[in-house]
Structure 1
Amino acid sequence: MPSRRPRRRRPHPPQSRTWGHHVRAALEDPLRQFQLSLAVLILLVAVGTVGYHLIERMGWINALYMTVITVATVGFGEIEPLTATGRMFTMGLIVLGVGVGAWAASNLVEVALGQTLWTSVQRRKMKDSLSHLRDHYVVCGYGQLGTRIVRDLAARGETFVVVDHDPSVEESLLHSLTPHLIGDATQDDVLKRVRVDRARGLVSALDSDANNVLTVLTAREMNPRLLIVARANAETSQSKLRRAGADRVVTPDDIGGHRLALALLRPAVHDLFNEIFSFGVDISVDVGQITIPENSPFAGQTVAGCDLRRMRNVTILAVRGPTGEFALNPDAQRVLRPGETMIVIGPAEAIYELEAMYGEE
């Protein structure tokens, strides 16, 4: 469990930017566009009815009837003689009615006949499901790195949600039924909607180190106990991300360089790593961790006494102490103590079962 960190404050985004973000998000939804055009049409009918009542002294029913036939341009003619002011009002109502009516009709056709209805329904379902998230992982950024993180989490059966600011990725996320939210992960309201306060962990894999720092600051403020892993695009950003509240910082270029050198110098070791740290859906071997609480059946046992090799075909690679030190390839008679963590390797299903049975909540 990550240690509690002091809460950090950062300037909130300007209110105009927040309102603009909400307006743009609403207008990008065709179903919302149709609802908006229908509301404008109803408002136009209401204004026309009140206008005829005040200008021509018509009764409410006659005023409503006159407004409807004018907006619809059916050409039934005037039900009562109009004054010059009334005729000017009618001409304006016709122009507005034609425009708003065409807007509403085109939106209706788009919603009813295209993929828009399905997309809108799926988007609404997705947004509703976000409120029920708990004990999940939040993946900020759905670029090349983010897609691999998502694939690995999905292959291991973890609950997660993706946050990305690019609307172009939404269609693929909807079709794959991947929980997601299109928005800026650096904004407080976006992280609130994906329930960071109830999440287990967050990975910030955005392309900009500055945005990663802001995301980490915001997430740490919302959930001081959250496990946060951040991507550093430059080595100089690692210390900034740790100061912002990241528990782990990963530099993809460094890891890629090490793996390339390993493939060149020790190809067999590289192939073993590929087998263990695979990103496919068919995982045969995996590495897991089991933290030992006070009431664990492993507490007070020796490495040999755990008998994981015989019962589960799982091997204990190392034991990490409470302060972070590692005992590699521990002796068979080494006693396991509460607060320590076993690093184990073996068949993927056996690892997942052990983590489910004895893993830390």
Structure 2
Amino acid sequence: METHEKIIVGILAIFSIILLESLILSITEHWDFFTAFYTAVVTISTVGYGDYTPKTFLGKLSVIIYIFAGVGAVAYTLSNVASFFIEGHFKRYFRLKRMRDRIKKLENHYIICGFGRLGRIVAYELEKNNIPYIVIDKDEEKLKEEIEKNPNFLCIHGDATQDETLEKAKIKKAKGLITVVGSDAENVFITLSAKKLNPNIFIVSKADAPSTLDKLIKAGADRAVCPYTVGGMEIARLAISPEIVEFIHSLVATKEDMEIRRFEVKNKELDGVSIKDSKIREKTGATILVVVKDGKYITNPPPELKLNVGDIIYAFGTCEQLDKLKKYLGE
């Protein structure tokens, strides 16, 4: 139980004890309820004016029990109040409240299920690209540790396989979900639940066993990745062609934040216009790498290739250049 919850419980206990003793005194001493209530408050506060004292045996007995119970409840509450301020709970409470308010406003964001080694890398990449995200993980201590380090970190402590947890993460307004929890079975279950709650969400799922990849796709994942397979392929490429791999990595990791993005042609003014006449290169600075027409990939497309609404373009450039291209294509 959180410290602020203990404080609330303590306050409720104090009021309950006061009201119960007031009722007992009003019956045993034949006082009106306000007088009984006044006496109970004065007694529990240890002020003890002595203007009203119980005369009956039952009244005196109830006061004895009441003093022990009341003082105990007050001491419990005050100790938690002190802990709330001294141990930083006060600051943490308002930080969590601000985080909950920010989560309520989330939309067009990504949900990361699992904050292990892979989850941390995914979160870092999304944050580096200023993409909103929220993390779901069962390990509360791990999340608290990240909250202390990163004030912008958004998270939910819970089980991502549960629909209510995904709903807390605003899955119906989310753009994508990345599930990288430790169990393949849980990744399949999360994928199924996510697609049921938001059929349009884009899902990337992790599989430890290559045999799980097909199951994840059938469960609704748009992409399924086996880190061991991808890592092994990367190591092999580095061993076979280290210069080429290092060149690609250095190119993508330049200070200008070069990257490759996928776009869809939506600008009707470009329908039927060739790449050369569209002057995409001159107006945006981005380089078109691939054009996808009717599911067919055209790599290094010739200048004479005509673009049509609905075509998919993969382009390379800086963030600024690709943002210009996005607007120019009508996205």
TM-score normalised according to structure 2 size: 0.90
Decide which of 325, 340, 343 is 2:314's aligned counterpart: 343
Larger gyration radius, structure 1 or structure 2: 2
In structure 1, how many angstroms separate the alpha carbons of the residues matched to 2:129 and 2:62? 66
Per the alignment, residue 146 of structure 2 pairs with 172
Per the alignment, residue 131 of structure 1 pairs with 104
Cα deviation code 1:303-361 (max 9, x no counterpart): 333333344332211122343x322222222222222211111223212332355364x
Per the alignment, residue 117 of structure 1 pairs with 90
CA contact (8 A) 1:290 1:359 kept: no
Per the alignment, residue 18 of structure 2 pairs with 45
Identity over aligned pairs, percent: 26
Per the alignment, residue 204 of structure 1 pairs with 179
CA contact (8 A) 2:286 2:317 kept: yes
In structure 2, how many angstroms separate the alpha carbons of the residues matched to 1:106 and 1:322? 69
Per the alignment, residue 192 of structure 1 pairs with 167
CA contact (8 A) 1:126 1:179 kept: yes
Per the alignment, residue 230 of structure 1 pairs with 205
Question: Are residues 152 and 62 of structure 1, via their aligned partners in 2, closer, same or farther at CA, if it must alter by over 3 Å?
Answer: same
CA contact (8 A) 2:286 2:325 kept: no
Select between 67-76 and 230-239 the one with higher mean Cα deviation. 67-76
User: 2:196 is aligned with what amino acid?
Assistant: E
State the secondary structure of the residue aligned to 1:230.
strand
State the secondary structure of the residue aligned to 2:211.
helix
Mark the runs of 5 or more structure 2 residues left unpaired by the alignment: none
State the secondary structure of the residue aligned to 1:235.
coil
Mark the runs of 5 or more structure 1 residues left unpaired by the alignment: 1-26
Per the alignment, residue 3 of structure 1 pairs with none
TM-score normalised according to structure 1 size: 0.83
Per the alignment, residue 17 of structure 1 pairs with none
Per the alignment, residue 275 of structure 2 pairs with 303
In structure 1, how many angstroms separate the alpha carbons of the residues matched to 2:250 and 2:115? 25
Cα deviation code 1:124-154 (max 9, x no counterpart): 1111222222222222222221122122112
Q: CA deviation at 1:264?
A: 0.9
Q: Does 1:142 align with 2:115?
A: yes
In structure 1, how many angstroms separate the alpha carbons of the residues matched to 2:54 and 2:249? 86
CA contact (8 A) 2:25 2:36 kept: yes
Q: CA deviation at 1:175?
A: 4.4
Cα deviation code 1:85-135 (max 9, x no counterpart): 233322322222122112110111122233211110011111122222222
Q: CA deviation at 1:286?
A: 0.6
Q: CA deviation at 1:31?
A: 2.2
